[in-house]
Amino acid sequence: MATSAMTPVSLRLRELRTAKGFTQAQLADLSGVPQSTISRLEAGKLANVNLKQMQQLADALGVHAALLIAHPEAEKKGKRG
């Protein structure tokens, strides 16, 4: 059974992309990562994340790749449980 779950990566990727004013298609063009992969990442539907693609996305967004992994709001929610 496939389920979607918002992860720190999905939350942070969408947050950084929209903060830069990029569409998924624009980020795909800049990073070389397929738009379908970006969409699945943001939706939490991609179980395995390719580290090379994470680096490509971070480079295109102008951030350190570690910023795509950690998201303060997701971490707060995880600590409540």
Confidence (pTM):
0.79
CATH class of 8-71: mainly alpha
Domain regions of the chain by residue span: 8-71
- Measured from the Cβ of residue 73, the count of other Cβ atoms closer than 10 Å reads 12
Residues 59-77, mean pLDDT to the nearest whole number: 78
pLDDT of 19 above 50: yes
Mean pLDDT estimate for the chain: 85
* Per-residue CA distances from 40 to 3, 23, 46, 79, 80 (Å): 12, 14, 5, 25, 27
More confident residue, 46 or 35: 35
C-alpha closest to that of 10 among 56, 52, 70, 59: 70
Res 71: pLDDT:
56
pLDDT band at 62 (very low <50, low <70, confident <90, very high): very high
